[in-house]
Every structure is written in C-alpha cells, then in structure tokens.
Amino acid sequence: MSQATERGENDPIRVGVLGAAGRMGAQAVRAVEAAPDLAVVAAIDAGDRLGSVAEAGAEVIVDFTHPDAVMDNLRFAVEHGIHAVVGTTGFAQERLDTLRGWLDGAPGLGVLIAPNFALGAVLSMKFAQIAARYYESVEIIELHHNRKADAPSGTAAHTARLIAAARAEAGVPPGPDATTSEVDGARGALVDEVRVHSVRLPGLVAHEEILFGADGETLTIRHDSMDRSSFMPGVLLGVRSIAGLPGLTVGLENVLAL
C-alpha cells in the first residue's frame, strides 16, 4: 500500500535515499534535507537493510546506486508501494520491460528513470528537437575535459539522434554540405546524419553547443555543466512529481511541462 495516502496536506514528502554514501547520493541527501517540503526518512548504502526504508515510511526512494543493485531495489519499492526516482545507469530495453510488468500490477505507483537530471541538458535537447523541425542545417560541438575516454559524449550522441528523429518526423531533409576536400576528421563524426565535433581540453568541464543555421541567421543552444550539483533541482522535481505520474516514465523531459 502506498504511504502517500497517510500524509497530511502540509507534511513533507518522506524520502529514502539509496546509495547515500556515494557522491551523487550524498548530494541528494543534502538537497532533500534543504527542501522544506521534503524530508529524508532513510539514507542507506550497500550492506544496509532495504527493509529499513519501508519501515521508515518512505513514500519515494531516490536511487543512485549501481546497475547490479538497482533492479532489486526497484522490485522492493514496487512491492512496498513506494514511488522511485532513479539516476542509476544501465537501463537497456529488457530492464524497462521488466519494470513495466511490475508496475502493471501496482496501479498508481510511479517510477522515473532519468539518464540526466540536469534541467539545462534536458531543456537543451527539447529545444533542439523543436528547432530541428524548422532548420535543415545543424551541427553539434561538445567540449569536455581531456580525461574523457569516449568521443562524442553520450549526451551529444543522444542529442544528435533526437534531432535526426525530429527532422525525419517533420519531413525536413539534412541541409546541403559543399565540402569536397577534407583533411580526415575535420567535418566531425556523423551520428544519424548529424555532424558532431568533440573538443577535449583541461580546464573544460562538460559543455554542449547545438548550432542551427539558415540564410542570414544562426540559432545556438548551449549547456554548460560545472558540477553535479546541477542534477539536484531535477532530482527534487522528480521527487515532487512522481506521485502524479503513475507507471514508468523515462527521461526528465517527460516530467517537465514542455
């Protein structure tokens, strides 16, 4: 049974944080505690008893644990009528299907899986999808510190795919490119027909720039991410919204009223 029904109108939402000793989890604990309409009733990490979260009366769990642990945590949450806001990674299609099955048997219960809780990142992608309907030509520049192993970044590749899909849906063809002579790599990587350029320098943190161009004008959307504190407003928004979003929600963009 969901604990939500037992809460008074002005009582804070009761939150259990899983992975509370990790970097993200610890930030989540602090952020929830700082919010007057939310309260941390349990904060556990690997080795602690999951049962303590239910015993503490948590209405929502925030999960920043590990791909190996998160499915067990979510089964527990669903069985105990606790909503979940999940930042842990590793959700391929199979896991999402499993989750949907569990939630079919728990009407009213909500689970939010979000690969990126930064509002700016989510809004950037949303804006890019909108602009892609009106501009044939678009390229992405992503800039990260030089300790990053993959290029392009997962976020930039994801953005490229969203743009390509929005463009296809609107019947907008990719813009023309007159390049006939290229030093290998100059024009970037092609991800679903969208050019992506990856800059790597010490001093950078995590930045993404989406450039649209048409005759006589350009439109640029840029997101600069300095540190993981940028995820907390999105986590809190998820915690506050999840009781009103029954079933499985993937992506913070589906929580925002866009």
Contacts (CB under 8 A) with its own copies, residues 109-128: 118-121, 123-124, 126-127
Catalytic residue of the set 80, 83, 144, 223: 144
* Kind plus residue range of the DSSP H or E element containing 208: strand 206-214
Q: Is 164 marked within a binding site? A: no
- Class of residue 215 by CB neighbours under 10 A (exposed 0-12, middle 13-18, buried 19+): exposed
Find out whether 92 and 250 touch, Cβ atoms under 8 Å.
Answer: no
Contacts (CB under 8 A) with its own copies, residues 152-181: 152, 157, 175-181
Token code pair at residue 32: 């929830």
**The only residue of 37, 146, 165, 193 in contact with its own copies, by rule CB under 8 A:** 146
Block residue for tokens 């010490």: 202
CA distance 13 to 58: 8
CA distance 100 to 90: 16
Q: How far is the CB of 169 from its own copies (least distance, A)?
A: 11
> Is there a catalytic annotation at residue 207?
no
Decide: is 12 part of the binding site for its own copies (CB under 8 A): no
**The only residue of 5, 10, 92, 217 in contact with its own copies, by rule CB under 8 A:** 217
3-class DSSP state of 156: helix
> Is there a catalytic annotation at residue 126?
no
Q: Which is nearer to its own copies, 3 or 129 (CB)?
A: 129
Interface with its own copies by CB under 8 A: which range of 40-48, 56-64, 69-77, 146-154? 146-154
Block residue for tokens 């909500």: 110
- Where on the phi/psi map is residue 179: left (φ > 0), alpha (ψ -120 to 50), or beta? beta
Q: Which is nearer to its own copies, 96 or 189 (CB)?
A: 189
Q: Is 254 marked within a binding site? A: no
Q: Which residues are known catalytic residues?
A: 144, 148
- Residue ranges at the known binding site: 19-24, 48-49, 87-89, 114-117, 145, 154-155
- Residue ranges at the known binding site for NAD(+): 19-24, 48, 87-89, 114-117
